[in-house]
Amino acid sequence: MSAMTYDKAMEQFDPVFGIEVHIELNTKTKMFCGCANEFGAEPNTQVCPVCLGLPGSMPVTNEKAVESAIRLGLALGCSIRESSRFARKNYFYPDLAKDYQISQYDEPTCYDGSIDVVLDDGEVFTIGIERAHMEEDAGKNTHVGGTGGIQGASHSLVDYNRGGVPLVEIVTRPITGAGARTAEVARAYVATIRDFVKALDISDGRMEQGSVRADVNLSLRPKAAPGEDQNAVPFGKRSETKNVNSLRAIERAIHHEAARQAELLLAGEPVVQETRHWHEDTGSTTPGRSKEEAEDYRYFPEPDLLPVEPSREWVEELRSTIPEHPAKMRARLMEEWGFSDLDMRDAVNADALDLIAATVAAGAKAQAARKWWMGELARTANDRDVTLQELPVTPAHVAELQGLIDDGKINDKLARQALEGVLAGEGSPTEVVASRGLEVVSDDSALEAAVDEALAAQPDVLAKIQDGKVQAAGAIVGAVMKATRGQADAGRVREIILQRAGVEG
């Protein structure tokens, strides 16, 4: 085992990194044909002559995908090229039906942008964006025989359902100046992209399904001597770690690569400029195909597709649809709602922010909205193994339910029963309260009768209360709640008991 660590590497070297993120768009159809773009179908059932690359077939661009790419570019602060074109990237691999991938090369649609990422402690780091371009995804290989990996496989099987699915690839500029926070910045950058594509509603942003995939470039250079400019020190040789597909893996891959490269450099050995593969199980990388061979893609303009020339009016129209930066929106909402860091993190992790916001917009207080979505409803969603969004309850329902509590019509216990009814499809909270007869018994004479009955059944309680053991009233409150099937206002019941005992509440 190597004694080199990320922290030690950062003490001795200055890291430079870059990230390529591939976003799978959530269009209904593929980039260049009308086949459905949907995850999980039977193999080779979402394919046609275009995405199988059969002779004579012709691609046509999906307008929605172009729109999504431009909106993403605008969210990343990019300029939108007045005329951009597609290019063929030639390479031979079984998951690529045509033996070339339609991509963009010298004229990407979006270029020259930047985006702020917010680290956990609130520090803001600006990432330069070189380009964001459109391309198509490849099919999926399954290796048969051996251990399931490519090594030792006897043959491979290819499913082209994913072939031709629209992607946007976002390429950063080389990122310098992050120092020891490099791994954190890289993670926060990919998280920001993921959050933004979800907010833009152009991708489901699900990293575990491959909707957001990252390749991480990293190099180390010597630290500048005191008084010298770090930016005058030339970059070192970089490695490119492919398919790092979770936020945690981004951090781990950078930790691993920094330590690996530092160890080589300190031993006087060269870092090879190469593609490397990430191994989630061991948290390490191994070399892939050699760069010289892999990089010869012989790009040329795609003759079967016409240039994309978005009008300036359209671009401005799309610009007006760009949502607020997700991290900045979170900071704003956290303050407006009075949430703690933990409240906010939990709500984000549960993907409940939009629901809470909609509930607040429907009239509920933020803390009440949070309590419902993160409590009862989160439990129900978990039990049913669905997302909060998939529950048959709307933010308006939740706001209405809370309104009934605030008006004293129902108590918390009855509210949970009303919610059960809503979840069972019995209607709105008000309708369920009416149909199930859940209203709090607010008629004092009915409550007084119930209290008297309970006191008669437990004759020693009154004496105890009068003796100063006020907590003895709890037994009577419980009995009354039971007798009224939970529909009594416990506070009012307690008051009546104390009145009966002749003591002040």
Partner 1 sequence: MSSLERSDVARLAALARIDMTDEDLDRLSGQLAAIVDSVAKVAEVAGQDVPATSHPIPMSNVHRADEVRPSLSQEAALSSAPQAEDGRFRVPQILGEEA
Residue ranges that bind partner 1, judged by CB under 8 A: 27-29, 33-36, 42-49, 52, 60-66, 83, 85, 90-95, 99, 141-144, 149-151, 153-160, 277, 288-289, 293, 296, 298, 301, 303, 306-310
Nearer to partner 1, 74 or 422 (CB): 74
Nearer to partner 1, 22 or 325 (CB): 22
Rounded least distance, CB 326 to partner 1, Å: 25
Nearer to partner 1, 145 or 338 (CB): 145
Nearer to partner 1, 151 or 340 (CB): 151
Rg (CA), the chain: 31
DSSP-derived 3-state class of residue 307: coil
CA 76 to chain centre: 17
Rounded least distance, CB 262 to partner 1, Å: 25
Nearer to partner 1, 60 or 266 (CB): 60
Rounded least distance, CB 9 to partner 1, Å: 26
Number of C-beta neighbours around residue 401 at 10 A: 28
Rounded least distance, CB 288 to partner 1, Å: 6
Sort strands 274-279 and 239-244 into parallel, antiparallel or unpaired: parallel
Rounded least distance, CB 85 to partner 1, Å: 6
Nearer to partner 1, 103 or 487 (CB): 103
- CA 248, CA 502: separation in Å to the nearest integer? 63
Q: What is the largest CA-CA distance in the chain?
A: 97
Question: Quick check: 167 and 42 in contact, CB under 8 A?
Answer: no
Question: Quick check: 146 and 152 in contact, CB under 8 A?
Answer: yes
Rounded least distance, CB 99 to partner 1, Å: 8
Number of C-beta neighbours around residue 9 at 10 A: 23
- CA angle (158, 160, 163) in 5-degree steps: 130
The b/e string for 120-150 (b: 16+ C-beta within 10 A; e otherwise) is eeeeebebebbbbbbbbbbbeeebeeeeeee
Rounded least distance, CB 93 to partner 1, Å: 8
Nearer to partner 1, 107 or 184 (CB): 107
